[in-house]
Amino acid sequence: MEQSTEHSRWVIATRESRLALWQAEHVQALLGARLPEPVELLGMTTRGDQILDRSLSKVGGKGLFVKELETALEDGSAHLAVHSLKDVPMELPPGFVLAATLEREDPRDAWVSPRYASLEALPAGGVVGTSSLRRLTQLRAARPDLRIEPLRGNLDTRLRKLDEGQYDAIVLAAAGLKRLGLAERIRSVFDAGQMLPAAGQGALGIELRADAPQRCPTLWALLQSLNHRPTWLAVHAERAVSRALGGSCSMPLAAHAGFAADGLTLRLEGVLGPGEDASAELRALGLARAEAEAPVQTVAEAEALGLRVVAALRAAGGDRLLAPAHPG
Ligand SMILES: NCc1[nH]cc(CCC(=O)O)c1CC(=O)O
Protein backbone atom coordinates (compact mmCIF):
# COMPACT_ATOMS: atom_id res chain seq x y z
CA MET A 1 0.00 0.00 0.00
CA GLU A 2 1.23 3.46 -0.83
CA GLN A 3 2.12 5.61 2.16
CA SER A 4 -0.13 8.62 2.48
CA THR A 5 1.74 11.88 2.04
CA GLU A 6 -0.22 14.34 4.10
CA HIS A 7 2.40 17.00 3.75
CA SER A 8 5.86 17.29 2.28
CA ARG A 9 7.12 19.18 5.34
CA TRP A 10 5.91 20.30 8.74
CA VAL A 11 6.08 23.85 10.04
CA ILE A 12 6.10 24.91 13.70
CA ALA A 13 5.03 28.48 14.47
CA THR A 14 6.95 30.05 17.34
CA ARG A 15 7.78 33.37 18.93
CA GLU A 16 11.37 34.45 18.48
CA SER A 17 12.56 34.95 22.04
CA ARG A 18 15.42 32.68 23.02
CA LEU A 19 13.13 30.69 25.33
CA ALA A 20 10.40 30.32 22.70
CA LEU A 21 12.96 29.16 20.14
CA TRP A 22 14.44 26.66 22.60
CA GLN A 23 10.97 25.22 23.17
CA ALA A 24 10.11 25.10 19.47
CA GLU A 25 13.46 23.48 18.66
CA HIS A 26 12.82 20.91 21.37
CA VAL A 27 9.52 19.95 19.72
CA GLN A 28 11.18 20.13 16.29
CA ALA A 29 13.77 17.56 17.42
CA LEU A 30 11.12 15.24 18.90
CA LEU A 31 9.03 15.33 15.74
CA GLY A 32 11.99 15.30 13.37
CA ALA A 33 13.22 12.03 14.86
CA ARG A 34 9.82 10.42 14.29
CA LEU A 35 8.58 11.81 10.97
CA PRO A 36 10.04 11.22 7.50
CA GLU A 37 9.37 14.81 6.36
CA PRO A 38 11.50 17.78 7.40
CA VAL A 39 10.24 19.84 10.35
CA GLU A 40 10.85 23.58 10.08
CA LEU A 41 10.36 26.62 12.30
CA LEU A 42 8.44 29.76 11.42
CA GLY A 43 9.54 32.55 13.78
CA MET A 44 7.00 35.27 14.45
CA THR A 45 6.76 38.46 16.49
CA THR A 46 3.61 38.79 18.59
CA ARG A 47 2.00 41.89 20.04
CA GLY A 48 3.04 40.70 23.47
CA ASP A 49 6.68 40.89 22.37
CA GLN A 50 6.28 44.48 21.22
CA ILE A 51 4.60 45.89 24.31
CA LEU A 52 7.43 46.46 26.74
CA ASP A 53 6.39 49.56 28.60
CA ARG A 54 3.06 48.56 30.12
CA SER A 55 1.95 45.66 32.24
CA LEU A 56 0.22 43.00 30.17
CA SER A 57 -2.79 43.05 32.45
CA LYS A 58 -3.45 46.61 31.28
CA VAL A 59 -3.29 45.87 27.58
CA GLY A 60 -5.43 42.79 27.23
CA GLY A 61 -3.46 39.97 28.77
CA LYS A 62 -2.54 36.56 27.62
CA GLY A 63 -3.88 36.22 24.08
CA LEU A 64 -1.19 38.71 23.09
CA PHE A 65 1.46 36.00 22.84
CA VAL A 66 -0.54 33.51 20.78
CA LYS A 67 -2.79 35.29 18.27
CA GLU A 68 -0.23 35.72 15.50
CA LEU A 69 0.75 32.06 15.83
CA GLU A 70 -2.89 31.04 15.48
CA THR A 71 -3.18 33.14 12.34
CA ALA A 72 -0.31 31.11 10.87
CA LEU A 73 -2.19 27.90 11.72
CA GLU A 74 -5.35 29.29 10.20
CA ASP A 75 -3.82 30.33 6.87
CA GLY A 76 -1.85 27.09 6.58
CA SER A 77 1.63 28.59 6.84
CA ALA A 78 2.20 26.46 9.96
CA HIS A 79 0.80 23.15 11.22
CA LEU A 80 1.48 23.48 14.92
CA ALA A 81 2.29 26.22 17.39
CA VAL A 82 4.49 25.74 20.45
CA HIS A 83 3.76 27.90 23.49
CA SER A 84 4.67 28.31 27.12
CA LEU A 85 1.36 27.00 28.41
CA LYS A 86 1.30 29.77 31.00
CA ASP A 87 0.83 32.28 28.17
CA VAL A 88 -2.05 30.40 26.52
CA PRO A 89 -5.52 31.78 27.31
CA MET A 90 -7.86 29.49 29.21
CA GLU A 91 -10.33 29.45 26.33
CA LEU A 92 -8.83 28.90 22.91
CA PRO A 93 -10.66 30.60 20.05
CA PRO A 94 -13.03 28.32 18.11
CA GLY A 95 -11.14 26.23 15.57
CA PHE A 96 -8.07 25.59 17.75
CA VAL A 97 -7.16 22.84 20.23
CA LEU A 98 -4.46 22.07 22.69
CA ALA A 99 -3.09 18.79 21.34
CA ALA A 100 -0.43 17.88 23.90
CA THR A 101 1.75 19.04 26.76
CA LEU A 102 5.28 17.77 27.20
CA GLU A 103 6.65 16.79 30.61
CA ARG A 104 6.75 19.85 32.80
CA GLU A 105 10.04 21.53 33.76
CA ASP A 106 10.45 22.86 37.30
CA PRO A 107 7.16 24.76 37.86
CA ARG A 108 8.46 26.95 40.71
CA ASP A 109 9.34 30.61 40.76
CA ALA A 110 12.97 31.50 41.29
CA TRP A 111 14.67 34.29 43.23
CA VAL A 112 17.42 35.86 41.15
CA SER A 113 19.76 38.36 42.74
CA PRO A 114 23.46 39.16 42.59
CA ARG A 115 23.58 40.07 46.31
CA TYR A 116 20.78 38.43 48.28
CA ALA A 117 20.41 34.67 48.56
CA SER A 118 16.67 34.68 49.22
CA LEU A 119 13.65 36.87 49.82
CA GLU A 120 14.34 36.62 53.56
CA ALA A 121 17.89 37.92 53.08
CA LEU A 122 16.78 41.12 51.34
CA PRO A 123 16.98 44.12 53.69
CA ALA A 124 13.87 46.18 54.47
CA GLY A 125 12.82 48.45 51.62
CA GLY A 126 14.67 46.40 48.98
CA VAL A 127 13.64 46.72 45.34
CA VAL A 128 12.24 43.67 43.55
CA GLY A 129 11.41 43.65 39.84
CA THR A 130 8.30 41.96 38.49
CA SER A 131 5.34 42.97 36.36
CA SER A 132 3.35 39.90 37.33
CA LEU A 133 0.42 40.77 39.56
CA ARG A 134 0.53 37.21 40.90
CA ARG A 135 4.17 37.56 41.97
CA LEU A 136 3.70 41.09 43.27
CA THR A 137 0.75 40.11 45.45
CA GLN A 138 2.51 37.12 46.97
CA LEU A 139 5.72 39.12 47.55
CA ARG A 140 3.69 41.85 49.29
CA ALA A 141 1.98 39.28 51.50
CA ALA A 142 5.36 37.90 52.61
CA ARG A 143 7.23 41.24 52.75
CA PRO A 144 5.05 44.36 52.90
CA ASP A 145 8.17 46.51 53.30
CA LEU A 146 9.56 45.90 49.81
CA ARG A 147 9.41 48.22 46.82
CA ILE A 148 8.14 46.30 43.82
CA GLU A 149 8.98 47.83 40.45
CA PRO A 150 7.74 46.89 36.96
CA LEU A 151 9.96 44.61 34.86
CA ARG A 152 9.05 43.55 31.34
CA GLY A 153 10.85 42.00 28.41
CA ASN A 154 12.15 38.57 27.60
CA LEU A 155 14.38 36.67 29.97
CA ASP A 156 17.67 38.12 28.73
CA THR A 157 16.28 41.65 28.96
CA ARG A 158 15.08 41.10 32.50
CA LEU A 159 18.42 39.65 33.61
CA ARG A 160 20.26 42.57 31.98
CA LYS A 161 18.11 45.09 33.85
CA LEU A 162 18.91 43.26 37.09
CA ASP A 163 22.63 43.26 36.28
CA GLU A 164 22.52 46.98 35.49
CA GLY A 165 21.48 47.53 39.09
CA GLN A 166 17.90 48.65 38.54
CA TYR A 167 16.68 46.08 41.09
CA ASP A 168 18.06 44.22 44.10
CA ALA A 169 16.36 41.04 42.91
CA ILE A 170 13.86 39.75 40.37
CA VAL A 171 11.50 36.78 40.31
CA LEU A 172 11.43 34.53 37.25
CA ALA A 173 10.10 31.10 36.38
CA ALA A 174 12.76 28.50 37.19
CA ALA A 175 11.75 26.62 34.03
CA GLY A 176 12.84 29.34 31.62
CA LEU A 177 16.19 29.80 33.34
CA LYS A 178 16.87 26.07 33.36
CA ARG A 179 15.93 25.62 29.72
CA LEU A 180 18.29 28.39 28.66
CA GLY A 181 21.18 27.01 30.70
CA LEU A 182 20.89 29.87 33.20
CA ALA A 183 20.17 27.72 36.26
CA GLU A 184 23.23 29.18 38.01
CA ARG A 185 21.36 32.50 38.21
CA ILE A 186 18.81 30.91 40.58
CA ARG A 187 19.71 31.83 44.18
CA SER A 188 16.70 30.05 45.69
CA VAL A 189 13.34 28.68 44.65
CA PHE A 190 10.10 29.60 46.35
CA ASP A 191 8.03 26.98 48.08
CA ALA A 192 4.35 26.78 47.20
CA GLY A 193 3.29 28.35 50.49
CA GLN A 194 5.16 31.55 49.74
CA MET A 195 4.86 31.88 45.95
CA LEU A 196 2.41 29.55 44.24
CA PRO A 197 3.12 29.28 40.48
CA ALA A 198 0.79 30.34 37.68
CA ALA A 199 -1.46 27.78 36.01
CA GLY A 200 0.60 25.94 33.41
CA GLN A 201 3.94 27.36 34.52
CA GLY A 202 6.86 25.29 33.29
CA ALA A 203 4.75 23.32 30.82
CA LEU A 204 5.00 23.49 27.08
CA GLY A 205 1.76 23.40 25.10
CA ILE A 206 1.31 22.36 21.49
CA GLU A 207 -1.65 23.94 19.69
CA LEU A 208 -3.16 22.81 16.40
CA ARG A 209 -6.20 23.56 14.34
CA ALA A 210 -9.26 21.70 15.54
CA ASP A 211 -9.48 19.92 12.18
CA ALA A 212 -5.95 18.50 12.57
CA PRO A 213 -7.11 14.97 13.54
CA GLN A 214 -8.69 14.73 10.08
CA ARG A 215 -6.23 16.84 8.08
CA CYS A 216 -3.00 15.59 9.66
CA PRO A 217 -3.82 12.23 11.30
CA THR A 218 -0.19 11.08 11.43
CA LEU A 219 0.99 14.26 13.13
CA TRP A 220 -2.00 14.17 15.47
CA ALA A 221 -1.35 10.56 16.50
CA LEU A 222 2.33 11.31 17.06
CA LEU A 223 1.48 14.25 19.32
CA GLN A 224 -0.91 12.06 21.30
CA SER A 225 1.92 9.60 21.86
CA LEU A 226 4.26 12.43 22.98
CA ASN A 227 1.71 13.86 25.40
CA HIS A 228 2.89 13.59 29.01
CA ARG A 229 -0.19 12.39 30.83
CA PRO A 230 0.60 13.54 34.42
CA THR A 231 1.44 17.04 33.14
CA TRP A 232 -1.66 17.03 30.93
CA LEU A 233 -3.96 16.20 33.86
CA ALA A 234 -2.26 18.61 36.28
CA VAL A 235 -2.43 21.57 33.90
CA HIS A 236 -6.08 20.86 33.11
CA ALA A 237 -6.86 21.06 36.83
CA GLU A 238 -4.91 24.34 37.10
CA ARG A 239 -6.47 25.84 33.99
CA ALA A 240 -9.96 24.91 35.21
CA VAL A 241 -9.34 27.17 38.22
CA SER A 242 -8.33 30.11 36.03
CA ARG A 243 -11.17 29.53 33.61
CA ALA A 244 -13.82 29.41 36.35
CA LEU A 245 -12.49 32.61 37.90
CA GLY A 246 -12.49 34.51 34.64
CA GLY A 247 -8.87 33.85 33.71
CA SER A 248 -8.27 37.57 33.70
CA CYS A 249 -4.85 39.09 34.20
CA SER A 250 -6.29 41.83 36.39
CA MET A 251 -6.74 39.42 39.32
CA PRO A 252 -3.69 37.82 40.89
CA LEU A 253 -4.34 34.11 40.62
CA ALA A 254 -2.06 31.14 41.16
CA ALA A 255 -2.88 27.47 40.69
CA HIS A 256 -0.59 24.51 40.93
CA ALA A 257 -1.24 20.76 40.84
CA GLY A 258 1.01 17.76 41.20
CA PHE A 259 0.61 14.04 41.64
CA ALA A 260 1.42 12.44 44.97
CA ALA A 261 3.99 9.65 45.11
CA ASP A 262 1.22 7.10 44.46
CA GLY A 263 0.86 8.55 40.95
CA LEU A 264 -2.92 8.58 41.35
CA THR A 265 -3.77 11.37 43.75
CA LEU A 266 -3.68 14.85 42.25
CA ARG A 267 -3.25 17.65 44.77
CA LEU A 268 -4.27 21.15 43.63
CA GLU A 269 -3.63 24.46 45.39
CA GLY A 270 -4.98 27.87 44.50
CA VAL A 271 -4.31 31.43 45.65
CA LEU A 272 -6.40 34.47 44.78
CA GLY A 273 -5.64 38.07 45.71
CA PRO A 274 -7.26 41.49 45.34
CA GLY A 275 -7.46 42.95 41.84
CA GLU A 276 -5.35 45.85 40.61
CA ASP A 277 -8.05 48.40 41.36
CA ALA A 278 -9.22 46.89 44.66
CA SER A 279 -10.18 49.20 47.52
CA ALA A 280 -8.04 49.44 50.64
CA GLU A 281 -10.75 47.53 52.44
CA LEU A 282 -10.48 44.61 50.03
CA ARG A 283 -6.69 44.67 50.16
CA ALA A 284 -6.89 44.30 53.91
CA LEU A 285 -8.59 40.93 53.37
CA GLY A 286 -5.33 39.52 52.08
CA LEU A 287 -5.08 36.38 49.99
CA ALA A 288 -7.60 33.58 49.68
CA ARG A 289 -5.92 30.18 49.70
CA ALA A 290 -7.40 26.71 49.17
CA GLU A 291 -6.40 23.19 48.25
CA ALA A 292 -8.01 19.85 47.49
CA GLU A 293 -6.94 16.41 46.32
CA ALA A 294 -8.59 13.50 44.54
CA PRO A 295 -7.71 10.45 42.48
CA VAL A 296 -7.51 11.78 38.90
CA GLN A 297 -7.25 9.74 35.71
CA THR A 298 -9.23 11.81 33.22
CA VAL A 299 -9.41 15.45 32.15
CA ALA A 300 -13.00 15.57 33.46
CA GLU A 301 -11.79 14.47 36.89
CA ALA A 302 -8.94 17.00 36.78
CA GLU A 303 -11.36 19.81 35.90
CA ALA A 304 -13.77 18.70 38.63
CA LEU A 305 -10.91 18.98 41.12
CA GLY A 306 -10.27 22.48 39.76
CA LEU A 307 -13.87 23.46 40.42
CA ARG A 308 -13.67 22.13 43.97
CA VAL A 309 -10.68 24.39 44.62
CA VAL A 310 -12.59 27.32 43.10
CA ALA A 311 -15.50 26.70 45.49
CA ALA A 312 -13.06 26.46 48.40
CA LEU A 313 -11.31 29.68 47.29
CA ARG A 314 -14.63 31.50 47.16
CA ALA A 315 -15.49 30.20 50.62
CA ALA A 316 -12.08 31.29 51.93
CA GLY A 317 -12.73 34.95 51.07
CA GLY A 318 -12.35 34.79 47.32
CA ASP A 319 -16.00 35.67 46.87
CA ARG A 320 -15.47 39.13 48.29
CA LEU A 321 -12.29 39.64 46.27
CA LEU A 322 -14.16 38.74 43.10
CA ALA A 323 -17.29 40.75 43.80
CA PRO A 324 -16.27 44.12 42.27
CA ALA A 325 -15.09 42.56 39.03
CA HIS A 326 -18.17 40.37 38.67
CA PRO A 327 -21.21 42.37 39.78
CA GLY A 328 -24.42 40.40 40.29
N1 LIG B 1 5.18 35.37 31.03
C2 LIG B 1 6.37 35.07 30.29
C3 LIG B 1 6.80 33.67 30.49
N4 LIG B 1 6.10 32.66 29.96
C5 LIG B 1 6.69 31.49 30.35
C6 LIG B 1 7.80 31.81 31.11
C7 LIG B 1 8.72 30.87 31.75
C8 LIG B 1 8.68 29.44 31.31
C9 LIG B 1 7.46 28.69 31.73
O10 LIG B 1 6.77 29.04 32.70
O11 LIG B 1 7.18 27.67 31.06
C12 LIG B 1 7.90 33.19 31.18
C13 LIG B 1 8.94 33.98 31.88
C14 LIG B 1 8.78 34.02 33.37
O15 LIG B 1 7.64 33.97 33.87
O16 LIG B 1 9.77 34.13 34.07
Do residues 142 and 222 share a domain? no
Q: Residue 89 domain-assigned?
A: yes
Are 24 and 82 in contact, with CB atoms under 8 Å apart? yes
pLDDT digits 0-9 by tens, 239-254:
999 999 975 667 899 9
Name 282's Cβ contacts closer than 8 Å, sequence gap at least 6: 274, 275, 320, 321, 324
Give the pLDDT confidence score for residue 63 in this predicted structure. 74
Hey, is 191 helix, strand or coil? Answer: coil
Asked if the model's pLDDT at residue 60 lies above 80, the reply is no
Are 193 and 271 in contact, with CB atoms under 8 Å apart? no
Asked if the model's pLDDT at residue 145 lies above 70, the reply is yes
Give the pLDDT confidence score for residue 251 in this predicted structure. 86
Nearest to 236 by CA among 191, 268, 192: 268
Q: Residue 327 domain-assigned?
A: no
Give the pLDDT confidence score for residue 276 in this predicted structure. 83
Do residues 65 and 214 share a domain? yes
In degrees rounded to 5, what are phi and psi of residue 153? 110, 170
Do residues 28 and 177 share a domain? no
Q: Which atom of ligand 1 is nearest to the CA of 175?
A: 8
Q: Residue 194 domain-assigned?
A: no
- Angstrom distance (rounded) from CA 301 to CA 6: 35
Averaged pLDDT, 281-307: 95
Give the pLDDT confidence score for residue 62 in this predicted structure. 60
Are 176 and 17 in contact, with CB atoms under 8 Å apart? no
Count of domains observed in the chain: 3
Do residues 75 and 49 share a domain? yes
Least confident of 44-58, 124-138, 143-157, 273-287: 44-58
Averaged pLDDT, 291-314: 98
H or E stretch including 303?
helix 299-313
Q: What is the CATH number of the domain that holds 249?
A: 3.30.160.40
pLDDT digits 0-9 by tens, 105-141:
999 999 999 999 999 999 999 999 999 999 999 999 9
48 lines ligand 1 (CB under 6 A): no
Q: Residue 155 domain-assigned?
A: yes
86 lines ligand 1 (CB under 6 A): yes
Instruction: Please give the residue range of the domain that contains residue 135.
Output: 109-189
How far does the centroid of ligand 1 lie from the alpha carbon of residue 322, in Å?
Answer: 25
> pLDDT category, 55, cuts 50, 70, 90?
low
Q: Residue 22 domain-assigned?
A: yes
302 lines ligand 1 (CB under 6 A): no
Averaged pLDDT, 10-22: 96
Q: Which atom of ligand 1 is nearest to the CA of 204?
A: 11
With 0-12 / 13-18 / 19 or more C-beta atoms within 10 angstroms meaning exposed / middle / buried, residue 100 is buried
- Angstrom distance (rounded) from CA 34 to CA 307: 38
Kindly report the protein residue whose alpha carbon is nearest to atom 15 of ligand 1.
Answer: 173
Do residues 258 and 305 share a domain? yes
Do residues 208 and 88 share a domain? yes
Exposed e or buried b for every residue in 166-188, given b needs 16+ CB within 10 A? ebbbbbbbbbbbbbbebeebbbb
> pLDDT category, 52, cuts 50, 70, 90?
low
Asked if the model's pLDDT at residue 1 lies above 50, the reply is no
Least confident of 56-70, 84-98, 121-135, 250-264: 56-70
Residues of the chain above pLDDT 70, percent: 92
Do residues 185 and 264 share a domain? no
The full length of the chain comes to 328
Asked if the model's pLDDT at residue 327 lies above 70, the reply is no
pLDDT digits 0-9 by tens, 314-323:
999 999 888 7
- Angstrom distance (rounded) from CA 148 to CA 129: 6
How far does the centroid of ligand 1 lie from the alpha carbon of residue 160, in Å?
Answer: 16
How far does the centroid of ligand 1 lie from the alpha carbon of residue 107, in Å?
Answer: 10
Task: From residue 144, give the alpha-carbon distance in Å to each of 114, 192, 275.
Answer: 22, 18, 17
Active site (catalytic) residues: 87
pLDDT digits 0-9 by tens, 182-240:
999 999 999 999 999 999 999 999 999 999 999 999 999 999 999 999 999 999 999 99
Q: Residue 290 domain-assigned?
A: yes
Do residues 130 and 276 share a domain? no
Nearest to 250 by CA among 197, 325, 315: 325
- Angstrom distance (rounded) from CA 185 to CA 160: 12
Do residues 79 and 208 share a domain? yes
For the chain, the average pLDDT equals: 92
Q: What is the CATH number of the domain that holds 124?
A: 3.40.190.10
Q: Residue 242 domain-assigned?
A: yes
Q: Residue 5 domain-assigned?
A: no
How far does the centroid of ligand 1 lie from the alpha carbon of residue 176, in Å?
Answer: 6
168 lines ligand 1 (CB under 6 A): no
Q: Which residue has the higher pLDDT, 219 or 48?
A: 219
Asked if the model's pLDDT at residue 282 lies above 90, the reply is no
200 lines ligand 1 (CB under 6 A): no
Give the pLDDT confidence score for residue 248 in this predicted structure. 62
Averaged pLDDT, 303-316: 97
